[in-house]
Amino acid sequence: MNKKILSLALLVSLSGLATAQQETIEKRFKEKEAISHFTYLASDELMGRDPARPEMALAYNYIAKFLKKYKAQPIPGADGYFQNIPFNLSAPPKTGELMIGNTKYSQGEELLVLDGEAASGDYEVVDLGFGLEEDFAGKDVKGKVVITNVGAPDQMSPAALFALGRLKTARAQKAGAVALVERFNIPSVPWQLVANFLNRPTLGIDQGESSSLPYLWVKDAENSLSDGKVKNIQLNVAGKNNTKIEGKNVVAWIEGTDPELKDEYLLLSAHYDHVGVGTPDAEGDSIYNGARDNAVGTVAVMNAAKYFAKNPPKRSIILALWTAEEKGLLGSAYFAENPLIPLDKIIYNLNIDNGGYNDTEIITVIGLGRTSSDPLISQAVSEFGLEAIADPSPEQGLYDRSDNVNFARKGIPAPTFSLGFRAFDDEISKYYHKPGDHVDNFDLDYAVKYWKSYIRAAELIANDAAKPKWVAGDKYEQASKELYGDR
C-alpha cells in the first residue's frame, strides 16, 4: 500500500469515527430537557441571577441538582457540588459631609466614603504628603485627621490607589488617627467618573481585614487642599454598610477512561450569574434575564455533564459554573487562586460566555488562532454544519474580559466558545445587558447546534493524544512554561 492510499484509508476511517461520535451526541442529546433548563434559568423567578440577591440560591441549587442527577461527581475538598466563596457587599452611606473652612463636601458629590465606621466632630488635621511610611515617621496624629494625596508619586494606577489606601489606613489607625482623608487630584481622571464608579454597592471577595477607620476621598482637582493648607476639619459621616454573602461556584468532575490521561483535566466552564434587576426598559421590564449572557452557556456545561458522565473521554473533565462574573470575574478568580484540582493538571479551559449573536451559521471563538486545539474546535462545529471564526472585534478586548482570562494568566490555554457574531453591532447591543434578553426571542434550533458542537469540541480535545499548547509568542506562553514546565 503506498502512502497516498494509506492516508486516504486513514482519512476515511477517521471521518467514519467522527460520524459515529457525532451520531452518539445526536442520539444522547435531549433537546426538550436542555430547553427547559434554558427557560428556567432565564425566567423572571430567578430575578436576573444576581449573587447579591436571595434568588441566586434557586439558580445554584438547580444546577447542582442536575449535576448530581447526571452522576457527575463532587470534587474532593468542595462542599458537595459547591465551592463556597466569602463575599462582602459593601454599600456607601447615603449621607455624610465634611466642612473644610467654609466649603462643604457632600457624600456622593465632592466626597466619597470608601471605608470605615461613622464619625463626627471637629478635628485638627495633619498633612502627610503621600502618607508613605516615612511621612508618618515621628508625627503625632493621635486624635487627629490625617490628610494625604491619593496614591504615591510613581503609583497612580487604580489598583495602586486602592492598595496604597489600605496601607495608609492601617498606618493611620495604628498611629491613633480618627480618619484618613485623601485628596483626589489626578488631572487625567475625571472626578465624576470616579464618583459614579465608587458611589454604589460593590461585591468583592471578603478580605477579612475590614478597617473601622473612616477612609474618605475628597475632590481636589485644583490642588487647593495640599501643602498644609487644611488645619481643621468638621467631620460628619455615616459608615459603610458591609454585608457578608456566601457565593457559590457550582463544580463537579467526571473521571477519564485512560489510565494515564485521566490525570489530566479539561475544564468546561461558564458563568451562571447575570446582572439582576435594574433600570426598566420601554416596556417596563426591569428583570435582566440574561438568556444569552449566560444562561445558554450554563446549559451547555450542564449538557456536557450529562453526556460525559455516560460517555467519559480519555481525560477527566471538570465542570464549573462560575458566580459573580458580572461583578469582576470573581468566581473564576477565586477558583484560580484556590483551585480544587491543581492548576498544572488542567490542560485546557473551554470557557463559554456570550453577549449575543448575529449569525447562526457560525460559532465565534474568542481566542481562536492562539492555541494548538483550533483544528479540533473547527472540526467539531463543522460536524454540526457551523463554521468557527475568530474574535471579529479584538478592539473590545473580549478575551481579557471574561472568566477564561483568570486561567490564561496562569498559563492554561483558555478560549471562550461564543454564539456566532461577526461584529459588535446593533443586533448584539439590542440584547446585551438588556431586560429583553429572553429565551422567547432566541433561535432555539441554533441553540441546539451550539450546545451539541460544544460537547463535540470538548470531546475531541479531551481525547486528543497531544496536549494543547499556546501558539509560540502568545502573551500567555511564558506563564504556561512556568505552570507546566517545558513540555
CB of 341 to Zn ion, least distance (A): 23
Report the length, in residues, of the chain: 487
Among 22, 294, 332, 373, binds Zn ion (CB under 5 A): 294
CB of 438 to Zn ion, least distance (A): 16
The piece of 115-123, 147-155, 193-201, 348-356 that touches Zn ion (CB under 5 A) is 348-356
Residue 256 or 331: the one with the smaller Cβ distance to Zn ion is 331
CB of 84 to Zn ion, least distance (A): 22
Residue 437 or 459: the one with the smaller Cβ distance to Zn ion is 437
CB of 288 to Zn ion, least distance (A): 11
Question: Pairing state of beta strands 265-271 and 316-322?
Answer: parallel
**Cis preceding-peptide flag for 294 (omega within 30 of 0):** yes
Site size for Zn ion, by CB under 5 A? 3
Considering only residues 310 through 339, tell me which ones interact with Zn ion, judged by CB under 5 A.
Answer: none
CB of 49 to Zn ion, least distance (A): 11
Residue 293 or 383: the one with the smaller Cβ distance to Zn ion is 293
CB of 357 to Zn ion, least distance (A): 13
CB of 274 to Zn ion, least distance (A): 7
Name residue 73's beta-bridge partners.
253
Residue 148 or 404: the one with the smaller Cβ distance to Zn ion is 404
Residue 172 or 366: the one with the smaller Cβ distance to Zn ion is 366
Among 110, 127, 353, 383, binds Zn ion (CB under 5 A): 353
Q: Does 464 bind Zn ion (CB under 5 A)?
A: no
Residue 90 or 294: the one with the smaller Cβ distance to Zn ion is 294
CB of 352 to Zn ion, least distance (A): 9
Residue 326 or 464: the one with the smaller Cβ distance to Zn ion is 326
CB of 415 to Zn ion, least distance (A): 15
The piece of 186-194, 233-241, 292-300, 392-400 that touches Zn ion (CB under 5 A) is 292-300
Cell 493611620, located at residue: 172
Q: Does 293 bind Zn ion (CB under 5 A)?
A: yes
CB of 48 to Zn ion, least distance (A): 12
The piece of 107-115, 175-183, 347-355, 479-487 that touches Zn ion (CB under 5 A) is 347-355
Residue 253 or 399: the one with the smaller Cβ distance to Zn ion is 399
Q: Does 437 bind Zn ion (CB under 5 A)?
A: no
Separation of alpha carbons 57 and 323, rounded Å: 11
Name residue 288's beta-bridge partners.
none
Residue 353 or 459: the one with the smaller Cβ distance to Zn ion is 353
The piece of 114-122, 146-154, 288-296, 413-421 that touches Zn ion (CB under 5 A) is 288-296
The piece of 84-92, 135-143, 353-361, 458-466 that touches Zn ion (CB under 5 A) is 353-361
Residue 383 or 437: the one with the smaller Cβ distance to Zn ion is 437
User: For binding to Zn ion (CB under 5 A), which residues are involved?
Assistant: 293-294, 353
